[in-house]
Structure 1
């Protein structure tokens, strides 16, 4: 009996040591931490993962922070794609992790031990059991958790890759100069997949970078989910995964039918809200730089199920660092859409050293988008057919010179019908358009002013169709 207290103490020592270790923070193996002798420290967990990447097993070892641990996105394996382990003692992730033999085969590939190059996994159904949503979390839940408890800039890279590699493409829903947009499914949830050609890698990288800006997430900006580069055996596909909006672009939506006055106000307010958030700088450690879009048009705005808009296509966007007063302009040969270019861009008079210049050019484009929306609102028994801005003044694919002649030399703008004066909402929107597309950028309204003006609009009885 005399030895009991000593043995109890000896038994308690490992627990005490673990507790002290947890208080001081874990030390883990970190493959990317060359500057700290391949070691990292965390209050969360040590992490090891093996992932099927382009027919090869790719092993990653590092630290998982406490917010990432709380968000429950790192410590779940995904059938066929990843095997992951989290542990809670010093250097416990210094282990050899392999995908099981059966999982290699079910992924339609030879196993790495056989030394042959494998085809990328072919997945019939999204492998949801025991995956990232093993805790019942949806994509929105995961993104919300990481936005609020993590960096505020979206999902961790490995989680993005895991999601992207378990998406089943359904059908193509659009094509552009960058590539294609597909409707996809991930664990029963709808997603949109924008697939860039490898020659447009700069646009893909830039758009993924902008979407992952801290605090960018907003209900009127397209919800980014993941970015990944996928090797299909012949060439590399560059994927950008986002929320899926079945109504398509504002261009498609306006082509399909008319809008009520209430619907017009809702569309216009949501676009202004998204642009105001994009343009706004949020100061602080979890702040956000001011961002200008540079290619705002109806084809780059999506319509959500609730008939509000989400601004998309941020591949040409520029960021402003107010501390250093520098403008981060993408190294991209692409320019915006000629039909929507502000006069100062068309005649090469814009001062690109002043960030406000880019925001003012966005406001000009916003005025043209409002004209497209307003024309589809019946008033006084008259419904205008859908048309692009300047449809009656330039060719279907206008050159810079075509647009410069009309916008800068002749100083023409889209016509505002007289019947708009009989409806308060259309009268206000018409006035906003004129103030958005003024020749002088400095004389244009800000996105916040546009948003406030539209938000004060009531829809009187005489406007209702």
Structure 2
């Protein structure tokens, strides 16, 4: 770039030279936006500054700069392009900004609400169309080896000699892997459901959270060392589950489709041989409960305290299994004490301990003495109510007290 020597320019800061200056470079005029106001500057640009190409370049919407090369050519009026292109922009800027921010937020919020409502509606519809408590695919079926059933695993623990009576499964997840099928019974404690675990039927006794003591006590008794016996209900696991409304307490055990002894005898008659088999299995299970096994892993004597026909289940081979051990107590022969839990439940009055009348036991009775009043109630009923007598005998009459 070439410029004549002694170029005369307007200079706003040169009061001592009558607001003029001389340069070998160029005359310079600039307008910039400072604190919302336009500020105009006019001066001379030296040749080195001109070669640096700094002063003669404008920035978008902030400064506008012009360089010229004739005398007093910078005596001009400059305006920022933003002011001339959109004079009403400053007035509507905040409104446009607010609309620009608010509209996307409103659209996103509305979309989120609609998505939540849609998902909730689909979840509710799915809950109405499929059975309750349908859970995720069963993940613990590998605990059952091929060729073995759940019953085999339960009673393998008895025949192996361990007799520990501990729960078969890891209990913290079993409630997630059982699918409830149908309700098979109700009582004051809660409900009994038939469930499916790995394709096999199990019984699920569901307590309400108000009966936590009964649930805990029954699970504790079932897990007594060396309790397992073919005439005592096979215990599988205890777990809890939140169904969205309240906490369910689950007790999982074997499932016997014949139901209770009460229902079995009321459905029809049994032969004399069948009656003997029922009575013998009840006596065998009760004897195992009452028997104390001494040793490092021994079993204390246990009293049922609520033995009745509704608490005895009939197995497929027409033998019995004693169930419902929620009121049972253990007898400590060393201290001669009975651990009576803090439980508001009491057994059926005619099936409870004879000395107390309200289901409590005294140490002097021992385990067998507490259950002895129940045996005259159950066994004559089995013998006389629904049994076909031996040949040549008369059918005895027996009045049941319910």
TM category, shorter: 0.5 to 0.7
CA contact (8 A) 2:183 2:194 kept: yes
Cα shift at 1:146:
5.1
CA contact (8 A) 1:143 1:155 kept: no
Using the size of structure 2 for normalisation, the TM-score is 0.52
Distance change in 2, residues 1:411/1:140 (3 Å)? closer
CA contact (8 A) 1:74 1:132 kept: no
> CA separation in 2, counterparts of 1:173 and 1:410?
29
Deviations for 1:412-455, whole angstroms, at most 9, x for unmatched residues? Answer: 99999xxxxxxxxxxxxxxxxxxxx9xxxxxxxxxxxxxxxxx9
> CA separation in 1, counterparts of 2:159 and 2:72?
29
Distance change in 2, residues 1:223/1:380 (3 Å)? closer
- DSSP 3-state at the match of 1:285: coil
- DSSP 3-state at the match of 1:91: coil
Cα shift at 1:49:
74
> CA separation in 2, counterparts of 1:43 and 1:459?
136
Would you say 1:32 and 2:16 are equivalent positions?
Answer: no
Of the structure 1 ranges 311-320 and 73-82, higher mean CA displacement relative to structure 2 is found in 73-82
Would you say 1:77 and 2:51 are equivalent positions?
Answer: no
Cα shift at 1:153:
3.3
Would you say 1:261 and 2:223 are equivalent positions?
Answer: no
Cα shift at 1:313:
0.4
> CA separation in 2, counterparts of 1:308 and 1:458?
15
CA contact (8 A) 1:78 1:127 kept: no
Cα shift at 1:127:
1.7
Q: Which residue of 2 aligns with 1:41?
A: 22
CA contact (8 A) 1:262 1:459 kept: no
> CA separation in 2, counterparts of 1:147 and 1:66?
107
Cα shift at 1:316:
0.3
CA contact (8 A) 1:204 1:315 kept: yes
Distance change in 2, residues 1:127/1:333 (3 Å)? same
> CA separation in 2, counterparts of 1:284 and 1:298?
33
Using the size of structure 1 for normalisation, the TM-score is 0.46
Structure 2 stretches of 5 or more lacking a match? Answer: 83-114, 124-128, 356-369, 390-401
> CA separation in 2, counterparts of 1:94 and 1:307?
119
CA contact (8 A) 1:110 1:116 kept: no
> CA separation in 2, counterparts of 1:173 and 1:217?
24
Cα shift at 1:30:
85
CA contact (8 A) 1:120 1:233 kept: no
1:414 to 366, 376, 379: 376
Deviations for 1:192-240, whole angstroms, at most 9, x for unmatched residues? Answer: 0000011011000000000000000001100000100111122100000
Cα shift at 1:284:
0.6
CA contact (8 A) 1:81 1:165 kept: no
Cα shift at 1:123:
4.2
- DSSP 3-state at the match of 1:121: coil
Deviations for 1:161-187, whole angstroms, at most 9, x for unmatched residues? Answer: 333320110100000000000011101
- DSSP 3-state at the match of 1:159: coil
Q: Which residue of 1 aligns with 2:392?
A: none
Cα shift at 1:334:
1.2
- DSSP 3-state at the match of 1:50: strand
Distance change in 2, residues 1:115/1:296 (3 Å)? same
Deviations for 1:309-338, whole angstroms, at most 9, x for unmatched residues? Answer: 000000000001112222111111111102
Distance change in 2, residues 1:276/1:379 (3 Å)? closer
Cα shift at 1:160:
2.4
Deviations for 1:384-434, whole angstroms, at most 9, x for unmatched residues? Answer: xxxxxxxxxxxxxxxxxxxxxxxx999999999xxxxxxxxxxxxxxxxxx
Deviations for 1:88-113, whole angstroms, at most 9, x for unmatched residues? Answer: 99999999999999xxxxxxx99999
CA contact (8 A) 1:31 1:61 kept: yes
